Structure 1
Amino acid sequence: MESVKPSAVTPSKSKLARTFAKVLHVRAVTGIAKVDGLKNVKLDANLNVEGNMDKSTINKEDEELQKRVVIEALLAKVFASISTVKASYAQLQYAQSPYDPDGIQAADKFIVSELKTLSELKQCYFKEQFDPSPDRAILEAEAKELESVIKTYGIMGKKLESQARLRESEIMYLREKLEEANKQNKSIEKKLNQSGSLSVLDNLHVSGVSPSHFVTLLRHAVRSIRSFVKLLVNEMRSAGWDIDAAVNAIEKNVVYWEEDHKCFAVESFVCREMFDSFNSPNFSLPNESLPDGSKRQLFFGRFSELKSVKAKEFLAMQPRSTFAKFCRIKYLRLVHPKMEASFFGNLSQRNLVNAGEFPDTSFFTSFAEMAKRVWLLHCLAFSFEPQACVFQVGKGCRFSDVYMESVNDEMPVESEPHVAFTVVPGFRIGKTFLQCQVYLSQQHQEKVKKFTSAKQR
């Protein structure tokens, strides 16, 4: 029995359960479908709103970009017009010198036209009337601006070429003036070096010799020395000499205020050689004996014999004279064989001098004229009673404007200048002193101070 009951009840229960389950499933499915449908509708509505907002934002950005492009196109036109005005103004300036009326008129038209264009662009900006094709307008404006810039540079190039031609013509004119000035200077220098320049000493007698005559002759001698020094330095430069080394060999450890002052060292060397033994009656002629009689009359006679004759002519007429011997000795001492070989490539002039002859060259002629002036100065010095004598000061001496004259004025006023070397010696005629010419150096002054302070310690 117990086994039968369950089998009879089970089928009906299971059928009822399946039916109830189907009903519940249908309702449940139907209810879920309605909820999902509402959710889907709401989502679609949100998507539509967000889509509309994105489209409006994009449209605004496009409008701003478009407005920016047309503004850039307008600015490009403005800058192109300004460049055109600049180029036209440059053309206007160029046409004024030399005067070109057609060029001035054309440039004026361009300027007026571009100013009108700028005015129209201003009105377009205020009225917001922009170019419908801004990209093309920008390219055209850039091309116009580039063309104007090229035109401006072209005009500037022409102007610079014109200025260069003007400078070249000025240089040519100045060169011609310089050549004329050099010719005049050479002519004046030649006249001064001629014996005729000593005409102030004509009709001079031994009893009337005065220090003023000696000063006049000394000035001519110094001028002749400097003319020879100039020639000597030019020959050194042409031969490729190291001027600094040569100058330092003459005067060591001297600081020159200017580069041109180095010629004073060469002048010092020439004066040192030419005035060596000046205080001796024989004047570098040790084997020359003086005749008996008044030495004063003898030397004044030598002075009168030579003063009115050119040195070259006198040497040709009297190659065995005392003055000729003096020239030979001084030339061989002053012009070293290596110097002459570097200047002229040989020793022909030196060989002629050694053989008792005199070369017919401008170099030796300049030397002979200088030697003549120094010789005349020596003869006039021994025409005084007592005789005039030469003196010079040593390195490191304190400068004294009583006995010295500076050839350079660069020393500070508050400093205590010292002598670096003597350029031209001084002379004493009785109680009268003619100042020697010296070169002052700052470095030498500092060395003297250091040496003095160290010695005191």
Structure 2
Amino acid sequence: MDHEPPRTSTNSSMSIFPFSGLCKRRSVAVSASAKELPNPNNHSSGSEAVNGSDDNRDSKVYPQPFDKPQITHHPKCSEEAMPKLFDAITALKYAYVQLQQAHLPYIPKKIKLADEVMVSVLQALSDLEETYRSQSSLSLEIQQHEDLLAQLQSKLRIKDLEMRRLRCEKEKLDAENAALEKVVKQKLLPKKHFYLNQEMSPALFLNVFELAAKSIHEFAKPLISLMKASGWDLDLAVRSLYNSVTFAERSHKKYAFEAYLSQVMLSPAPLEDERFSVDQFDGVMNSQDPFDYLIADPDSQFGRFCRSRFALAVPSKMEDSFFGNLDQRSFVLSGRHPRTPFYQAFVAMARWAWALQVMANSFVPKAEMFYAKNGQEFTKEYMEDVVGGLVSNREMKPVVGFTVTPGFRIASTIVPCRVYSYKTKSSTNNLRLDFVV
């Protein structure tokens, strides 16, 4: 009686470990008489060979037991792959037994059929192996990418920590800068000095005069820097202002530009209808930023003052050389105030110049402004040297080169003008002051 091959699953879709060595050749134990091939002329023997008894087959066929393969689970092994692998191995065992049984007795049809089954099962295992190899290669590539991803994530965490540290430092610096800016603004704008209920005294005027001179000095710095960057010949510009003055040091030429700004900002502008009343004084001087007041009221007294004096202080040729256009000028002359760093710096200077003239007009009688003439002998009562350290002697007398900031006379009180002086052997002894009405 022939044994039917067991029904097994040969579906193979993936592999999880190599299958080399699973199908080793097995020896088949037979009796001595069975080793002789049947004689085709001997019908009886042929009949016995074909119709061999079940007992004879049972006693002569000894399939060797299969060794259980060692299975190593791959880290990427899935639950669906293992049953397919075990089914394929089981089918291989039964196909091998069926192939052995087909040889005793020798039945060609059964041998062919068993051989086809054996080949089919081996092909299924081969497909599983190929799938495993492909998946192993893909798993290795995935693992490499995962390792790279882990490295990048680690670097990202380090960068994130660095960004947090820098952000904390930035916040700390911003807080410190805000505190410093507050201190600077408080120093530049001592609010308690400018309430209208405080009397406009010569002492208060002197305080404003010093702040105005300082603001002109501060604005001259970016103006000179822009002139240098724009290719201006500073020596030629100074000679066009004060050709006869001898400067003790090259750095002293900056006072010529300060003098130019003082004349523009403090002298009465020609053909200009300006009013310097105290109506808006409190609002302008108590604003944390004078530019905020301009935005709130662009056509105020202070706003008109800024527009007219900007056009005089920064001529169109100069502005065009600085910025390559006249956009700021057009914006200002149209009645508006551009929020640019340069114009904001100008407004900071203009506030003190405007405040000084408002206070000068508030006195009864009005404060008189005066300038010292070039070549006049230096007089301490009416003048203050911007450089300092002048010592007169019989041979060399200090004389006025030019007035940097004009002086004021309030009744019997004199606020000295600030002048640049140099020494010469001859000088004019008569005091000559140009008063501006």
TM range (shorter): 0.5 to 0.7
- 1:384–1:344: structure 2 CA closer, same or farther, 3 Å change rule? same
8 Å CA contact 2:376–2:427 kept in 1: the answer is: no
**What is residue 218 of structure 1 aligned with on the other side?**
209
Query: Contact 1:398–1:417 (CA<8 Å) still a contact in 2?
Result: yes
Partner of 2:258: 267
2:197 to 200, 205, 224: 205
| Partner Cα distance (1:341, 1:379) in 2 | 32
Pick closer, same or farther for the CA change 1:239–1:416 going to 2, 3 Å.
same
Moved >6 Å (runs of 4+): 184-190
Q: Tell me, yes or no, if the aligned pair for 2:377 and 2:427 is still in contact at 8 Å.
A: no
Aligned to 1:436: 417
In structure 1, C-alpha distance between the alignment counterparts of 2:386 and 2:414, rounded to whole Å:
18
Aligned runs of 1:29-428 on 2, under 5 Å?
A: 191-192=183-184, 197-205=189-197, 208-277=199-268, 286-287=272-273, 299-309=277-287, 310-409=289-388, 411-414=390-393, 415-428=396-409
Matched residue pairs, number? 250
Please say if residues 276 and 284 of structure 1, whose CA atoms lie closer than 8 Å, have aligned partners that are also in contact. Answer: no
Contact 1:198–1:217 (Cα < 8 Å) also in 2: no
Secondary structure of 1:433's match? strand
Unmatched 5+ stretches in structure 1: 1-183, 278-282, 291-297, 450-457
**Which deviations, in whole Å up to 9, do the C-alpha atoms of 1:40-97 show, x marking residues without a partner?**
xxxxxxxxxxxxxxxxxxxxxxxxxxxxxxxxxxxxxxxxxxxxxxxxxxxxxxxxxx
Change (3 A) 1:432 1:410: closer
* Residue 385 (structure 1) shift: 1.9
1:197 CA drift (Å): 2.1
Question: Residue type matched to 1:286 in 2?
Answer: E
- Does the aligned pair in 2 maintain the 1:404–1:437 contact within 8 Å? yes
Q: Is this contact kept in 2: 1:247–1:265, CA < 8 A?
A: yes
Change (3 A) 1:421 1:235: same
Q: Give the deviation of 1:331 after TM superposition.
A: 0.5
Give the letter for the 1:426 counterpart: G
User: CA offset at residue 358 of structure 1?
Assistant: 1.2
Structure 1 residues 332 and 241: alpha-carbon distance in aligned structure 2, compared to 1, 3 A threshold: same
Encode CA deviations 1:257-291: one digit per residue, 9 max, x unaligned.
111100000000000111111xxxxx667345x6x
Q: Is the 8 A contact 1:407 1:437 kept in 2?
A: yes
> How many Å separate the matches in 2 of 1:364 and 1:396?
35
- Kindly report the root-mean-square deviation, in angstroms, between the aligned alpha carbons of the 2 structures: 2.6
Q: What is the match of residue 454 of structure 1?
A: none
Conserved in 2, the CA contact under 8 Å of 1:391 and 1:427?
Answer: yes
Q: CA deviation at 1:419?
A: 0.5
Deviations 1:400-440 (A, max 9, x none): 00000111236453122110100111111110001101111
- Tell me how far apart the structure 1 counterparts of residues 222 and 317 of structure 2 sit (CA, whole Å): 17
Higher helix fraction: Structure 1 or Structure 2?
A: 1
CA distance in 2, matches of 1:205, 1:428: 23
8 A Cα contact 1:302 1:379, kept in partner: no
Task: Calculate the TM-score normalised by the size of structure 1.
Answer: 0.51
Deviations 1:339-382 (A, max 9, x none): 11111111111111121111111111011111111111111122
In 2 relative to 1, CA 196–247 (structure 1 residues): closer, same or farther, beyond 3 Å?
Answer: closer
State TM-score, norm by structure 2. Answer: 0.53
Q: 1:315 and 1:301, CA in 2 relative to 1: closer, same or farther beyond 3 A?
A: same
Q: Which sections of structure 2, spanning at least 5 residues, go unmatched? A: 1-175, 429-437
1:403 and 1:185 map into 2 onto residues whose CA distance is 41
Cα distance in 1 between the residues matched to 2:217 and 2:182: 13
Looking at structure 2, the residues matched to 190 and 390 of structure 1 have their Cα atoms a distance apart, in angstroms, of 34
Preserved contact between residue 192 and residue 220 of structure 1 (Cα < 8 Å): no
Name the CA distance, whole Å, in 1 between partners of 2:179 and 2:336: 28
**1:284 and 1:329 in contact (8 A); partners too:** no
The 1:396/1:389 distance shift into structure 2, 3 A limit, reads: same
> Which amino acid is the alignment partner of residue 419 of structure 1?
V
The 1:323–1:421 alpha-carbon spacing in structure 2 relative to 1, beyond 3 Å, is: same
- Secondary structure of the 1:236 match is helix
Q: Structure 1 residues 211, 192: CA separation in 2 closer, same or farther (over 3 Å shift)?
A: farther
Corresponding residue of 2:94? none
Asked if structure 2 preserves the Cα contact closer than 8 Å seen for 1:315 and 1:358, the reply is yes
The code of the aligned residue for 1:272 comes to: Q
* Structure 1 contact 221–374 (Cα < 8 Å) conserved: yes
When residues 185 and 377 of structure 1 are mapped into structure 2, their CA distance, relative to the original with a 3 A threshold, is farther
The letter of the residue matching 2:347 is A
Deviations 1:125-180 (A, max 9, x none): xxxxxxxxxxxxxxxxxxxxxxxxxxxxxxxxxxxxxxxxxxxxxxxxxxxxxxxx
